[in-house]
Chain A
Amino acid sequence: MNLIWKLLRRHISVGQLAGFFLADLVGTVIVLCGIQIYSDMAPMLSGSYGLLGNDYIVISKPVKQLGSLMGRSAAHFSESDIDDLKAQPFARNVGEFRSSQYGVYLGLPGVFATDMFFESVPDRFIDVTTDEWRFDLSKRDIPIILPRNYLNLYNFGFAQTKGLPQLSEGVSQSISFDIELSGSGRTEHFKGHVAGFSDRLNTVLVPESFMEWANDRFAPSKSALASRLIVEVENPADESIAAYLQQRGYEVENNAADNSKIGFLLKIVVSVVMAIGLIISLLAIYILTLSIYLLLQKNTDKLENLSLLGYSARRIAAPYSRLTVTLNVAIMLLAISAVYFVREAYMTRVAATLGGASQTGFLPTIIAGALLTAVVVTFDSIVIRRKINSIASKR
């Protein structure tokens, strides 16, 4: 057996080390669980892997009664509003909704006819990919994108009560409407057809190029201010989105900003859990440090004699360093396997409830665990070396 170890293992308190081992294990498991759960859950709230797939949010200003009664356009976004939004770090792109400033009358001969409106957004915000999304003046045919739930409204509400046939998406796209546009003293007739259905945009969309042309032609004197904005965001779970909207008093369509709020809550909960784990771990490391300090203190004579025999501080420290490394690595391996089983348990539930597997995998825990061990072992080594040096250099 190593003589130095035989000499220095005296006074080692198994009770103290066991206490440290258990406490540090518990703390480490909590910290690593926090990290793993956060890295598993955060991607579910953001990006294209999102639960709701909400990379886009549509915002508007609240309609104030007095302003709208007096005919002022209080609910429109000004240039500075838009510039301010564009400058926000969470906003990747901002698009403006333009609405028709002229009369729209849409009908299917012999079936129905109704007053209508159009809106447009820049093409890159539209989630329908189709070759027909072009306005050709010579054909006088306007492609239209409808919200997917409009088709449901027609099929299950309107068609049944009126005794009309229910339509599939394919069939509905082959129907041609009559469209009448009027304004600025002129009336013109067009054809129109449904080019696709959108899950993202809850309005009757026409191509932006057509909107510009039509507004110019039928309402040249009116300025088309943006009534709503569509924002492509970096990360829907970014809590600064909810904070910004709250501060500016903007309203959000659907629950698109919920991810941001959930993301914020997730961060808070995980931070609290990790803080608790970290405090337990720190206390445990404090126990270990004290225990080793005590051990060194009790072995002062031996350490001094070893130093006088020509043993370097590094060699004297080696058994203690080896002890702390062994303990900490064992704790980390146990903690990582514990987190692995915890993760297996919750991921099967998550997959069963929400579908979709995590993209991040188990790596965050392993990296965090390795880092944590490295920090603790380095700290312990420094403490041990300093104590041994202070004993050895008694002159």
Chain B
Amino acid sequence: MKLITLDSVVPEIFAKRKDLRSDIWLAPVTFERGKRYLVEAASGSGKSSLCSFLYGQRGDYRGRISFDGDDISRFGRGRWCDVRRRELSMLFQELRLFPELTAWENVQIKNRIENTQSDSTIESWFEALGIADKRKARVALMSYGQQQRVALMRALCQPFDFLLLDEPVSHLDEENGRLMCEIILQEASRRGAGIISTSIGRHLDMEYDKVLSL
């Protein structure tokens, strides 16, 4: 997938609002593979809605979203399954980890779908992010910041053309945010993938090709 285009897209609940000032809603937007985008948003401006629309979780919007020209509202289950395995990776704001599995298992449950990363690579991430000792700990027993790092590693365990990051550093200190940023840039540039990151305050510290305000 090379292009994600939004054409006059607006969430149903905003459709009747007259005072909408946004770089994204009701505007023509194009995300290109290989480029980095930051979507800055105030709380309640529909940031999570945007991610849900792009990831096929929700369809309550007007307008048209297309991947390489294909209208995603026509995608069936099988197509979404393929998109989520190989084209689009998502770091959920609510993480969506499995609390009863260990940190290692949470990463592997994704990695085993396409066998993308070697065990040693994942181990090196655990080391780099400072949670090597938590590999066998159940996720339920970890802090939110630690969970956020596990969720990021999971998001990198698949092939992707775009990486969607929904508030990736909300619970991380600067140092951990920097470490995370390094790994993300490394994996994204290895694949030539685009990055779409959202933020309501703190954001990943990297050079963005474009900053859009929602």
Binding site for B on A (CB under 8 A): 3-4, 6-7, 10, 302, 305-313, 389, 392-395
Taking the closest CB of chain A, its distance from the CB of B194, in whole angstroms, is: 19
Interface window among B26-34, B103-111, B125-133: B103-111
Among A7, A306, A389, contact of B100 (Cβ-Cβ < 8 Å): A7
Among A3, A10, A389, A394, contact of B109 (Cβ-Cβ < 8 Å): A3
Q: Could you jot down 29 A-B contacts, CB within 8 Å?
A: A3-B108, A3-B109, A4-B109, A7-B98, A7-B100, A302-B98, A305-B98, A306-B109, A308-B96, A309-B84, A309-B110, A309-B113, A310-B81, A310-B84, A310-B85, A310-B113, A311-B81, A311-B113, A312-B78, A312-B81, A313-B77, A389-B77, A392-B77, A393-B77, A395-B56, A395-B57, A395-B58, A395-B59, A395-B60
User: Does residue B144 face the partner (Cβ distance < 8 Å to A)?
Assistant: no
Taking the closest CB of chain B, its distance from the CB of A3, in whole angstroms, is: 5
User: Does residue B101 face the partner (Cβ distance < 8 Å to A)?
Assistant: yes
Within 8 A of A (CB), among B108-166: 108-110, 112-113, 154, 158
Taking A7-B101, A392-B77, A393-B77 as contacts, is the C-beta distance between A310 and B158 under 8 angstroms? yes
**B110 A6 Cβ-Cβ under 8 A:** no
Q: Which residues of B contact A394 (CB under 8 A)?
A: 57
Interface size class of B (residues with CB under 8 A): 20 to 34
User: Does residue B67 face the partner (Cβ distance < 8 Å to A)?
Assistant: no
Taking A3-B101, A7-B100 as contacts, is the C-beta distance between A309 and B55 under 8 angstroms? no
Top 4 A-B residue pairs of the complex, sorted by shortest distance between their CB atoms: A310-B84, A310-B85, A3-B109, A395-B59
Taking the closest CB of chain A, its distance from the CB of B136, in whole angstroms, is: 14
In the complex the two chains form, what is the Cα distance from A271 to B112 in whole Å? Answer: 52
Q: Which residues of A contact B110 (CB under 8 A)?
A: 309-310
In the complex the two chains form, what is the Cα distance from A106 to B56 in whole Å? Answer: 104
Closest A residue to B58 by beta carbon equals A395
Taking the closest CB of chain B, its distance from the CB of A38, in whole angstroms, is: 46
Closest B residue to A304 by beta carbon equals B96
Q: Which residues of A contact B105 (CB under 8 A)?
A: 3, 6
**A10 B100 Cβ-Cβ under 8 A:** yes
Among A3, A6, A313, A389, contact of B112 (Cβ-Cβ < 8 Å): A3
Q: Which residues of A contact B154 (CB under 8 A)?
A: 309
Closest A residue to B83 by beta carbon equals A310
Taking A6-B105, A395-B57 as contacts, is the C-beta distance between A308 and B84 under 8 angstroms? yes
Within 8 A of A (CB), among B170-206: none
Taking the closest CB of chain A, its distance from the CB of B137, in whole angstroms, is: 16
**B100 A305 Cβ-Cβ under 8 A:** no
In the complex the two chains form, what is the Cα distance from A306 to B108 in whole Å? Answer: 12
Q: Which residues of B contact A309 (CB under 8 A)?
A: 84, 109-110, 113, 154
Give me 17 other A-B pairs in contact (C-beta within 8 A), A310-B113, A395-B57 excluded: A3-B101, A3-B108, A6-B101, A7-B101, A10-B100, A302-B98, A308-B55, A308-B84, A308-B90, A309-B84, A309-B110, A310-B81, A310-B85, A311-B113, A312-B77, A312-B78, A395-B60
Taking the closest CB of chain B, its distance from the CB of A312, in whole angstroms, is: 5
Q: Which residues of A contact B101 (CB under 8 A)?
A: 3, 6-7
Closest A residue to B87 by beta carbon equals A310
In the complex the two chains form, what is the Cα distance from A388 to B172 in whole Å? Answer: 35
Closest B residue to A3 by beta carbon equals B109
In the complex the two chains form, what is the Cα distance from A309 to B107 in whole Å? Answer: 11
In the complex the two chains form, what is the Cα distance from A201 to B78 in whole Å? Answer: 75
Taking the closest CB of chain A, its distance from the CB of B155, in whole angstroms, is: 10
Q: Which residues of A contact B109 (CB under 8 A)?
A: 3-4, 7, 306, 309
Taking the closest CB of chain B, its distance from the CB of A390, in whole angstroms, is: 11
In the complex the two chains form, what is the Cα distance from A395 to B76 in whole Å? Answer: 12
Residue interface bits B6-18, CB-to-A below 8 A is 1, else 0: 0000000000000
Q: Which residues of A contact B96 (CB under 8 A)?
A: 305, 308
In the complex the two chains form, what is the Cα distance from A306 to B85 in whole Å? Answer: 11
Q: Which residues of B contact A306 (CB under 8 A)?
A: 109
Q: Which residues of B contact A4 (CB under 8 A)?
A: 109
Within 8 A of A (CB), among B40-78: 55-60, 77-78
Q: Which residues of B contact A392 (CB under 8 A)?
A: 77
Q: Which residues of A contact B112 (CB under 8 A)?
A: 3
In the complex the two chains form, what is the Cα distance from A308 to B56 in whole Å? Answer: 9
In the complex the two chains form, what is the Cα distance from A302 to B60 in whole Å? Answer: 23
